[in-house]
Chains A and B, each alone.
Chain A
Amino acid sequence: MIRSLPKFSTHAIMIIGVLITIFPFVWVALMSTHTRSDIYSSPPPFYVGSNLIQNYGKLLELMPFWSILWNSLYVSVMGTAGAVLFCSMCAFGFFAYDFRGKNLIFGIMIASMMVPPVLMLIPSFLTIKFLGILDTHFALWFPGVANAFGIFLIRQYMLNTINRDLLDAAKVDGASDFRIYWSVVLPLIKPALATLGIVMFIGLWNNFLGPLILISSSEKQVLTLALRSVQSIANSPWGAIMLGTFLSMVPLLLAFLFFSKQMMAGLTAGAVKG
């Protein structure tokens, strides 16, 4: 059907999709050039305004924007790198072996995703306090490095791409288990690692509940929370906040493009499974 469908109608579908989805990005970008009064007119102004410079000045007045952005970047990169490593390790454990209790642990893991997160706030705070890592960036990224979502995702990917005969062959060749994981399996699941990378990076970047209760030093503040903290129902400099929001979306888009390139690279390498 795809081939019989004229190419332009495929493009047409895509372009409609793009128009619907790109809207917030363009909208936030436009709003970051306006004053609060303009943003709150009805209908809002869908053109480039002239207040960009003032908004930037106001943004820097509100928060040390770039150092806070750096904090966010640090937390997100650490958490993403950790997750890529540890989730793939755990997924390999679940994928490659049979052992007593495997089903139970996997079941608990899936079940732990079902606990509504809003109520974990208070006990999580107590845990972090008990461990003595309150007010550290470590407490923001470390607890999530081996998470159910990532392990599940990568295990599923392994099902599709890793041929068990390959593992056995490596085993016969005398490779250690860790070596098989590191040198045989990891290169084959790059696209999955990239997919996990995207999702982790965004999740860490947009997390504000963690920083809200765990971080008390202003110089350790992260961007999403900093942008939230200056919002009041009425008195906020919305132009500056919109500019901050726009600037905070840019690293996410760059990260996405980076990872999606890794992911698409799997297109040619994906032909491993015979």
Chain B
Amino acid sequence: MSAIVESSTDSLSARGTVRRRAPDKRRVLKKRLMPWLFISPYLVLFIMFTAFPLGFSIFLSFHEWNPTSGLDGMNFVGLTHYADIITDPWLWKSLYNTVWLAIVAGVPQHLIAIPVAYLLVSVFKGALRHFYTATMFIPFITSTVAISLIFYTIYSGNSGILNQWLLALSDVPVIGALFAWVPDAMPIRWLSSSALIKPAIAFVVVWKYTGFNIVIYSAGFLTVSKDLYDAAEVDGCSAWQKFWHVALPMIRPFVFFALTLTIIGNLQLFEEPFVLTAGDSGGVAQSGLTASYYLYLAGWEWHQMGYATAVSWILFLFIAVITSVHFYFNGRKGMGGDR
């Protein structure tokens, strides 16, 4: 992936060098150090707070460890965990669920967020815009406890709001025909049948994170200069063309950024499936078990921390590969190489 990052070529120092002549040594040194100075906060914090935990967990993945036995309770087992992982049916099941949810709960977020953000930025003004943006952001700030209480109420089989709405729809004159199957299918158990739990989780994820993406995309659309729209208008562009040919290409770095976050975030999905399956090892037939959920079970519930860590590194590789593919196809434009 690093090959793509370098594409932001023309840099400050490169150009500066051309224009200045005969820089003395001190200045060259200063120039060399300057970028490091700017990124030093990240480097320092990385070394302080991230490097050790990462190293520790690599070390741990070659050991067997019940964490409640303390740090001296580790036993070296070499690559055993990694060998076990290859034939672990729950892990593969969980990876499948993870990918399924990443796609089904990921794509709609963006398909909704991009046009909504565009509308918010281009159509609405003042207080109304603040009101809309703020409300659409509410799911993102809602605590997990409230989410679980709310969605249990919505999804529950016998008296759930969703089922009652479906029943009501089947009674509506015209569209009722579309829902004629509903009364026979009742009660639909959204959270306790293996076929429905993933869609039920996916809906909650879309509901929760779309507002976040709207904010990111709003920030993006706000960078598009009004002059560009005016120019497009002079050229006779329709509103749709302005969106598609002017605004959308301009926010590419934001699409790239938001997609990267969704890919990484969704492949680590844990809280929503955990809450909606009541922590019951992934729901019926583990159809709601994601990879993060599985490593949580293995590490914190079963106290097999070494194995869980090995699973987490496999998940890490998996995410890295998928992200690299995304960087490979979208990175050149998304990271700003065409500018």
Q: Which residues on A are within 8 Å of B, measured CB to CB?
A: 1-4, 7, 10, 13-14, 17-18, 20-25, 27-28, 31, 42-44, 86, 89-90, 92-99, 102-120, 122-124, 126-127, 131, 142-143, 145-146, 148-149, 151-153, 156-157, 159-161, 164, 167-168, 171-172, 177, 180-181, 191-192, 194-195, 198-199, 202, 206, 224, 227-228, 231, 241-242, 245, 248-249, 252-253, 256-257, 260-261, 263-264, 266-267, 270-274
Contact = CB atoms under 8 A, between A and B. Distances in A.
B316 A116 contact: yes
A221 to B, nearest CB: 16
Contacts of A274: 225
Interface pairs A-B: 9 shortest CB-CB: A93-B38, A123-B53, A97-B35, A103-B2, A93-B39, A146-B41, A123-B56, A159-B336, A1-B240
A148 to B, nearest CB: 8
B134 A260 contact: yes
Contacts of B257: 152-153, 156
A161 to B, nearest CB: 5
B140 A202 contact: yes
Contacts of A14: 116, 119, 124, 132
B222 A131 contact: no
A156 B150 contact: no
B143 interface: yes
Contact of B34 (A3, A21, A97, A107): A97
B135 A118 contact: no
A195 B214 CA distance: 11
A44 B156 CA distance: 12
Contact of A21 (B14, B147, B211, B270): B211
A167 B123 CA distance: 33
A142 B44 CA distance: 12
24 contacts: A4-B239, A17-B135, A18-B131, A21-B139, A21-B207, A24-B146, A27-B146, A28-B146, A89-B41, A98-B35, A108-B46, A119-B309, A127-B48, A153-B216, A159-B336, A164-B10, A172-B19, A177-B12, A198-B137, A202-B140, A227-B143, A256-B137, A264-B222, A266-B219
Contact of B57 (A96, A120, A199, A256): A120
A116 B312 contact: yes
Given A127-B52, A157-B223, A253 B34 contact: no
Nearest to B244: A1
Nearest to B225: A271
A183 B219 CA distance: 21
Interface of B: 1-3, 5-6, 8-16, 19, 32, 34-39, 41-46, 48-50, 52-54, 56-57, 67, 116, 119, 121-124, 129-143, 145-147, 149-150, 153, 156, 159, 161, 207, 211-212, 215-216, 218-220, 222-227, 238-240, 243, 250-251, 253-254, 256-257, 260-261, 264, 267-268, 270, 291-292, 295-296, 299-300, 305, 308-309, 312, 315-316, 319-320, 323, 335-336, 339
A266 B295 CA distance: 43
A24 B248 CA distance: 32
Contacts of B150: 23-24, 27
B134 A114 contact: no
A118 B295 contact: yes
B223 A273 contact: yes
Nearest to A124: B53
Contact of B223 (A90, A161, A252): A161
Contact of A245 (B145, B261, B295, B312): B145
B234 to A, nearest CB: 16
A260 B133 contact: yes
B217 to A, nearest CB: 10
